[in-house]
């Protein structure tokens, strides 16, 4: 798993033992249900092979190519819903599906997000992704990809290794632990995006990005790894709330040109590999 350290300087991720749950903020935890959204999402329930059921949120045309959209460590909040709504409108449109990995809980601050992140069942999250891909393909989408941001980016790359029938992956600033998944074993095309100034060490910094690129080369699958100069972590978050949250975490950069370039690359990649 990954731990998040807060200090007077910018925070850093670093890898520790996978799936070990440490919850130093449990006494401070308060969570809310996922905020309502003006976007026309449909709430559905998906059942995994082990009969576990979870909620998911879908937007887009029934027969459009499907994309599973994976949350940041905050949960299924306004930002990930913004991303899903954006994805549903790119090009000719995609059908975006957000599985609720936290089962209705959303962190309101770093301490809450840390608690939820630490408690995530990572193998279970991979099962959620597997079931989400299967649901899309059983409900109108001939092909399905996976994308994610931060924690979701790491899970998206893991899905290229662990989830059968994924047709393409795009990951934003996140790399899975070697204990969860080895990108050298990826079976689906992977595109990945990182900020040059990202200092979440071992998770989404430039060194982690370059190590990922070497692993993807070894896999033999089509891949692209893009590093955006002058950008740090979570640079895709462009809502007013997202910008303020980044600033409060010491991530003040705002680079609309890089965001648009990343979305353009995302659209080209998913269109190439998800077109029938």
SS3 state of residue 246? helix
Hey, where are the domains in the chain?
42-274
Decide: 56 and 99 in contact? Cβ < 8 Å.
yes
Decide: 2 and 203 in contact? Cβ < 8 Å.
yes
Residue 241's pLDDT is what? 85
217-273 pLDDT, tens digit per residue, is 999 999 999 999 999 999 999 888 888 888 888 887 778 999 999 999 999 999 999
23-63 pLDDT, tens digit per residue, is 322 323 333 344 444 568 999 999 999 999 999 999 999 99
Burial of 249: CB neighbours in 10 Å, binned 0-12, 13-18, 19+: middle
Residue 250's pLDDT is what? 85
Residue 29's pLDDT is what? 33
Instruction: Say which CATH superfamily domain 42-274 falls into.
Output: Alpha/Beta hydrolase fold, catalytic domain (3.40.50.1820)
70-79 pLDDT, tens digit per residue, is 999 999 999 9
The mean pLDDT of the chain is 87
Residue 14 has pLDDT above 70, yes or no: no
Overall size of the chain counted in residues? 276
Mean pLDDT throughout 133-162?
Answer: 98
Residue 39's pLDDT is what? 63
Residue 8's pLDDT is what? 29
Residue 187's pLDDT is what? 98
179-227 pLDDT, tens digit per residue, is 999 999 999 999 999 999 999 999 999 999 999 999 999 999 999 999 9
Q: What are phi and psi of 130, to 5 degrees?
A: -55, -50
Tell me which of 12-21, 82-91, 178-187, 196-205 is least confident. Answer: 12-21
Strand (E) or helix (H) holding 95: strand 95-99
First and final C-alpha spacing in the chain: 36
Cβ burial 31-53 (10 Å sphere, 16+ → b, else e): eeebeebeeebeeeebeeeeeee
Q: Tell me the pLDDT band of 12, cut-offs 50, 70 and 90.
A: very low
């Amino acid at each position: 798993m990954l731990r998040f350290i807060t200090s007077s300087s910018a925070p850093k991720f670093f890898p520790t033992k996978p799936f070990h749950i440490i919850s130093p903020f449990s006494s401070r935890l308060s969570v809310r249900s996922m905020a309502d959204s003006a976007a026309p999402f449909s709430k559905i329930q998906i059942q995994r092979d082990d009969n576990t059921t979870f909620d998911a949120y879908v937007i887009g045309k029934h027969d459009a190519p499907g994309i599973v959209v994976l949350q940041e460590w905050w949960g299924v909040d306004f930002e990930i819903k913004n991303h899903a709504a954006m994805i549903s409108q790119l090009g000719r449109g995609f059908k975006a599906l957000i599985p609720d990995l936290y089962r209705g809980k959303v962190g309101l601050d770093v301490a809450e997000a840390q608690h939820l992140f630490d408690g995530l069942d990572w193998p279970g999250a991979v099962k959620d992704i597997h079931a989400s891909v299967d649901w899309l393909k059983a409900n109108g989408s001939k092909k399905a990809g996976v994308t994610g941001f931060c924690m979701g980016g790491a899970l998206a790359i893991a899905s290229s290794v662990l989830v059968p029938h994924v047709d393409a992956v795009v990951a934003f600033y996140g790399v899975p632990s070697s204990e969860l998944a080895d990108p050298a074993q990826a079976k689906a095309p992977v595109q990945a995006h990182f900020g040059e100034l990202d200092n979440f060490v071992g998770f989404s910094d430039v060194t982690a990005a370059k190590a990922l690129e070497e692993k993807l080369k070894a896999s033999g699958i089509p891949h692209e790894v893009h590093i955006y100069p002058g950008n740090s972590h979570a640079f895709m978050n462009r809502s007013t709330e997202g910008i303020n949250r980044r600033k409060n975490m010491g991530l003040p950069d705002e680079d609309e040109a890089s965001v648009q370039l990343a979305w353009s690359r995302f659209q080209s990649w998913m269109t190439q590999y998800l077109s029938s």
